Amino acid sequence: MSDRPESEATAPTAEVANGRIVVGVDGSPSSISAMRRAVVLAEALGREVVGVTAWELPQGFGGPLPAGWSPEEDAREISAQASRDAFGDTVPEVYRAVISKGPAAHTLLEASETADLLVVGSRGRGGFARLLLGSVSATLAEHANCSVLIVRD
């Protein structure tokens, strides 16, 4: 038993407190809840939150992009709208957004390599595609390189 008070004995070390929390952002209500939860945790623990929005060309797409359409720009708009939905006009200082090319599960698995915690919503925008491809949150829970928090709406 330690002579230190319990709150001091259980306080996070500087190394842990300086880690980062990664949150998957796809604009779904579930990811908005995950963003809010990640920021609450980050502020309590003195960490940074990195909101990752992944994008990729539709499967089987082989031609030139339609004039005026950019999937990366769509991802930026989704990320910006998700931030407004989660935080209003004032984005917390601990939060920063990142747009990344690649499939969502793969992109978040890579991000988990340098994260202390990965936070995702329980249901994304997947719909029918999710039934065919499997749940991103289930894949992350099984294969991430850090702890995973799956937030329900």
pLDDT digits (tens, 9 = 90+) for 26-74: 999 999 999 999 999 999 999 999 999 999 876 666 677 677 778 899 9
The whole-number pLDDT of residue 125 equals 53
20 Cα distance to chain centroid: 11
Distance (Å, rounded) from C-alpha 23 to C-alpha 49? 7
Place of tokens 């920021």: 39
Fold (CATH) for 20-56+67-151: Rossmann fold (3.40.50)
- Residue spans of beta strands (DSSP E) within the chain: 20-24, 48-55, 95-101, 117-121, 147-151
Record the tokens describing residue 72, joined without a space: 């990366």
Whole-prediction pTM value?
A: 0.79
